[in-house]
């Protein structure tokens, strides 16, 4: 309680076809000598990009860091991974490269559900709840897994809920990127050549070419 994170800056990004905001906090400044920056972008009111960056402070050291971003989902969510056979063929974890913050390995019940992730091998995760559907596409991360979490609808009440975790294990600066797409996705491909200055995403027959992502994002004319 005595070391609460404080905001470093908050900025609004408002364009004709790309809108969002960026914020940073110092919650890891003392313990990890790093700051966390998050940028959330809405592209043409069609889908969202959540972009996390962890940057080192002076004296932050040169050792590899374990970076994990978690999305806490509602307990009523059903999750499907496409292609679903990747659930069984996900790689075994390398014990020399711990991917839990504590340095412990992933519990056995999650081990078969760890899958590689990234622009050339992107799994598509469909979340459904009643008639609503949301598609998640991890674009920048090394691996993903599903954890047991909890949801609290009111004080003193906990319900089991899934947590989707995205992970990278590397030197700082490090980043994670995921696309959130309302509704189902029939086709999907991404090209991150030139990232973070530009990216191209093809989805459901449409192409989105984004540039200036690290400054003022814009959607290029197609």
Domain that residue 117 falls in? 7-219
Q: What pLDDT score was predicted for residue 104?
A: 38
Is 214 contained in some domain?
A: yes
Is 1 contained in some domain?
A: no
For residues 188-203, give the mean pLDDT.
Answer: 88
Instruction: Give the domain CATH number at 21.
Output: 2.70.98.70
Report pLDDT digits (tens) over 133-146. Answer: 899 988 998 888 87
| % the chain with pLDDT above 70 | 78
Q: Is residue 98 predicted with pLDDT exceeding 70?
A: no
Average pLDDT, the chain: 78
Q: What pLDDT score was predicted for residue 176?
A: 93
Report pLDDT digits (tens) over 27-77. Answer: 787 777 888 899 999 998 899 999 999 888 876 666 788 888 888 888 888
Please give the model's pTM, rounded to 2 decimal places.
Answer: 0.80
Helix H, strand E, coil C: the string for the chain is CCCCCCEEEEEEEECCCEEEEEEEECCCHHHHCEEEEEEEEEECCCEEEEEEEEEECCCCCCCCEEEEEEEECCCCCEEEEECCCHHHHCCCCCCCCCCCCCCCCCCHHHHCCCEECCCCCCCEEEEEECCEEEEEEEEECCEEEEEEEEEEEECCEEEEEEEEEEEEEECCCEEEEEEEEECCCCCEEEECCCCCCEEEEEECCEEEEEECCCCCCEECCC
Is 65 contained in some domain?
A: yes
Residue 109 pLDDT grade (very low, low, confident, very high; cuts 50, 70, 90):
very low
Is 2 contained in some domain?
A: no
For residues 173-186, give the mean pLDDT.
Answer: 90
Is 59 contained in some domain?
A: yes
Based on the structure, what is the number of domains in the chain? 1
Q: What pLDDT score was predicted for residue 50?
A: 94
Is 30 contained in some domain?
A: yes
Residue 89 pLDDT grade (very low, low, confident, very high; cuts 50, 70, 90):
very low
Q: Is residue 173 predicted with pLDDT exceeding 80?
A: yes
- Phi, psi torsion values for 109, nearest 5 degrees: -70, -15
Is 31 contained in some domain?
A: yes
Is 16 contained in some domain?
A: yes
């Amino acid at each position: 309680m005595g070391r609460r994170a404080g905001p470093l800056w908050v900025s609004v990004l408002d364009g004709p076809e790309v809108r969002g905001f960026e914020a940073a906090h110092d919650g890891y400044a003392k313990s990890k000598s790093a700051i966390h920056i998050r940028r959330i972008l809405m592209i043409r009111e069609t889908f969202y990009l959540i972009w996390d960056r962890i940057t080192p402070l002076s004296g932050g050291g040169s050792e590899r860091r374990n970076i994990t971003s978690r999305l806490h989902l509602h307990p009523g969510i059903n999750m499907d991974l496409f292609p679903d056979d990747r659930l069984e063929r996900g790689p075994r974890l390398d014990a020399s490269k711990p991917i839990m913050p504590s340095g412990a390995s992933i519990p056995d019940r999650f081990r078969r559900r760890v899958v590689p992730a990234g622009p050339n091998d992107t799994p598509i995760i469909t979340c459904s709840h009643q008639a609503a559907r949301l598609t998640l596409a991890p674009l920048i991360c090394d691996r993903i897994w599903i954890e047991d979490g909890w949801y609290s609808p009111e004080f003193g009440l906990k319900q089991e809920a899934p947590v989707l975790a995205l992970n990278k294990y590397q030197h700082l600066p490090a980043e994670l990127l995921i696309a959130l797409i309302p509704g189902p996705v029939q086709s999907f491909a991404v090209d991150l050549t030139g990232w973070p200055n530009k990216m191209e995403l093809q989805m459901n027959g449409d192409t989105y070419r984004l540039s200036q992502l690290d400054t003022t994002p814009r959607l290029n004319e197609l």
